[in-house]
Structure 1
Amino acid sequence: MATVAFIGLGVMGYPMAGHLKRAGHEVRVFNRTRKKAEAWVSEHDGTLAETPAKAAEGAEFVFTCVGNDNDLRSVTLAEDGLFESLGENAVYIDNTTASADIARELDEAAREKGAAFLDAPVSGGQAGAENGKLTVMVGGEQAAFDRAKPVIDAYARMVGLMGPAGAGQLTKMINQICIAGLVQGLAEGLHFGKRAGLDIENVVSVISQGAAGSWQMENRWKTMDAGEYDHGFAVDWMRKDLSIVLAEARNNGAQVPVAALVDQFYAEVQAMGGNRWDTSALLARLER
């Protein structure tokens, strides 16, 4: 069992840190909103740290799960950030969905400390985090991955090394590109079926067993059909992720017209008041 620091106890980080504690690791936590950290410590009998630096001090593995590139810099490179105390030979694992540029920046900073870095964004949403069944896409060196994987396994069902630092974030971008297109296609299909007067449950029971089947169809068609969106992965988060995708595409020359179009559709959902609705709320836009 390892000494672990976990920085960032949001919707995803809170249960992920809990899985690490239940796996038997010694877990020290930090959250910018102290009440969240106090609640986690009370629930899981861990240790509360006053700063990211205090959390990382003496830890064999340090995890972060925050909002974006700027949030990462504030808990890593700023005063009292984790790099102030990150130990030589420690492994720093970042579960934030962020840019590939910040991943490479943090990798370089870790190397300067004699430590290792893995960018390790996750997919599976709040339910995946709570159930310990996330998919983790990792960028970094094989040796660090081999050390960290048994620890990451506490909250994951799939952990894969995708390449050097930044490759995890690039893979997560592909994940979000695919999801955007799938959800829009599902929304249009359900909308079409309703307008055609078909029994949607009957339709899905058939087409889900063929080439049209997907995780989104299996897990979201019922709530979409019922017009229920107060759950799941928020539209605001998806727009953040797609902004990262579009910025990277501008840099590498990739053409992602569907992702760009769906991003605009999500902006319309936000204008409807659906900032915190699940990404499947693309159907609500068609039915307004």
Structure 2
Amino acid sequence: MTKVAFIGLGTMGFPMAGHLSRHTAEKGFELTVFNRNPAVRDRWAAEYAGVVAGSIAEAAQGADVVAICLGADQDVREVLCAEGGVFDAMAENGIVVDHSTTSAQLARDMAEVASARGKYFIDAPVSGGQAGAENGVLTVMAGGQAAAFERIEPVLKSYSARYKLLGDSGAGQLAKMVNQICIAGLLQGLAEGMHFGTQQGLDMNAVVEVISAGAAQSWQMENRAGTMLQGEFEFGFAVDWMRKDLGYVLDEARQQKLSLPVTALVDQFYAQVQNLGGGRKDTSSLLLALQATSQK
């Protein structure tokens, strides 16, 4: 049996660990999960099969693979490096698979710490949102050692439709930054298009039907235009999370002396949505900032 631990049962981690649970028998996994909130642990245990640990150390004890899905750099560093943390508890030659979205430097740092302790670290942020996690069709962008990546492929297959090693440590996080840059720009363009057409009195559902068959087509248009037009934003990837991610993007760009003017601008538009009380709304809520400006 391969001992697998999954730490962090949030919006993404909860269903990801659930898919792992469904594949334990066929893939020879022995699964243990942990979340700091006992109520979440209990809810997961009511839906899925697996050992629910009472601490990080208990979850990671002797584990060959520890997948984590946490909030930010400091969360990852604490869970992995604190006394009694993952690096202390997991098996020799064990592999940490970090599905959190963090800075690339954090990934490089954790890879060095892991190596010094006889372990491995793969930065493996995901794309696909809550729906992708629930349906087990996430995309995983990874950085780290090829031999370690090959060992975790059976785990990744449990909840992803596509996964790829893109380079050394940090490459996965850099690829996720590219992903977020592209999404932010597309969503702002889509929001402006929906706002402009609505203000002109067009039947925007009909407009979207037509233009989505042409060069304007995108995943965002297919999956978000309709809900934007209906004013529905209580789902999906939250604005607060996107701003956290774009913060990593802009920090990295500053360090590398790169100009990302559109990304920086869209980040400020997301700040406006936060100021309107929309921090937990889906990222397509950029439309709300445009509507608020028009009403002034």
Corresponding residue number in structure 1 for 2:11 = 11
Q: CA deviation at 1:181?
A: 0.2
The answer for the alignment partner of 1:207 in structure 2 is 211
The DSSP-based 3-state class of the residue aligned with 1:92 is strand
Secondary structure of 1:231's counterpart equals: coil
Q: Write the mapping of 1:91-102 to structure 2, written as runs, cut at 5 A.
A: 91-102=95-106
Q: 1:180 aligns with which of 181, 184, 201?
A: 184
Tell me the alpha carbon deviations over residues 221-245 of structure 1, each in whole angstroms, 9 at most, x when there is no partner.
0100011111111000000000111
- Contact kept in structure 2, 1:51 and 1:81, CA below 8 Å: no
**C-alpha separation in 2, matches of 1:2 and 1:215:** 36
Are 2:295 and 1:261 equivalent residues in the alignment? no
Instruction: Read off the aligned partner of 1:6 and give its amino acid letter.
Output: F
Counterparts of 1:34 and 1:255 in 2: how far apart (Å)? Answer: 44
Q: CA deviation at 1:57?
A: 1.3
* AA matched with 1:53: A
Alignment map for 1:12-31 (pairs within 5 Å): 12-24=12-24, 25-31=29-35
Corresponding position: 1:235 with 2:239: yes
Unaligned runs of 5+ in 1: none
Which of 36, 39, 48 pairs up with 1:35? 39
Cα contact 2:114–2:121 (8 A) shared by 1: yes
Equivalence for 1:80: 84
Map 1:126-165; keep pairs closer than 5 Å: 126-165=130-169
Q: 2:197 aligns with which of 169, 193, 198?
A: 193
Superposed displacement of residue 51, structure 1:
2.1
Q: Secondary structure at the match of 1:163?
A: coil
User: Which one of the candidate residues 24, 44, 47 is aligned to 2:48?
Assistant: 44
- Is the contact made by 2:3 and 2:30 (CA closer than 8 Å) also made in structure 1? yes
Q: CA deviation at 1:84?
A: 0.8
- Cα contact 2:87–2:119 (8 A) shared by 1: no
Q: Distance in 2 between matches of 1:36 and 1:87?
A: 26
Contact kept? 1:94, 1:121, Cα under 8 Å: yes
Please tell me the residue identity of whatever aligns with 1:244.
Answer: Y
Q: Which stretch of the first structure deviates more once superposed, 123-132 or 45-54?
A: 45-54
Any idea what the Cα deviations from partners look like across 1:83-120, whole Å, max 9, x if unmatched? Answer: 11121221110000001111111111111222221000
Distance in 1, matches of 2:139 and 2:78, equals: 26
Shifted more, 197-206 versus 181-190: the winner is 197-206
Q: Percent identity over the alignment?
A: 58
What TM-score, normalized by structure 2, do the two folds share?
0.95
Out of 144-153 and 258-267, give the one that drifted further. Answer: 144-153
How far the C-alpha of 1:45 sits from its partner, in A, is 2.3
- 2:239–2:279: 8 Å Cα contact kept in structure 1? yes
Q: How far does residue 256 in structure 1 lie from its aligned partner after superposition? A: 0.7
Q: Does 1:281 align with 2:285?
A: yes
1:226 aligned residue: 230
Give 1:59's match in structure 2, choosing from 59, 63, 73. 63
Amino acid at match of 2:165: L
User: Unaligned stretches of 5+ in structure 2?
Assistant: none
Question: CA shift at 1:189, angstroms?
Answer: 0.6
Measured in 2, the distance between the counterparts of 1:76 and 1:187 equals: 39
Determine if contact 1:87/1:113 at 8 Å carries over to the other structure: no
Amino acid at match of 1:105: D
Q: Quote the Cα distance in structure 2 between the aligned partners of 1:131 and 1:29.
A: 19
Superposition misfits of 4+ residues, deviation over 4 angstroms:
none
Q: What amino acid is the match of 2:13?
A: G
RMSD: 1.1
Residues 40-60 of structure 1: CA distance to partner in whole angstroms, max 9, x if unpaired?
123212112222222111211
How far residue 166 of structure 1 moved from its aligned partner, in angstroms, is: 0.3
Matching of residue 245 in structure 1 with residue 252 in structure 2: no
- Paired letter, 1:82: V
- Distance in 1, matches of 2:62 and 2:91, equals 6
The one-letter code matched in structure 1 to 2:246 is L
Residues 107 and 118 in structure 1, CA contact (< 8 A), matched pair in contact too: yes
Is the contact between residue 138 and residue 160 of structure 2 (CA under 8 Å) also seen in structure 1? yes
Q: Distance in 2 between matches of 1:46 and 1:155?
A: 16
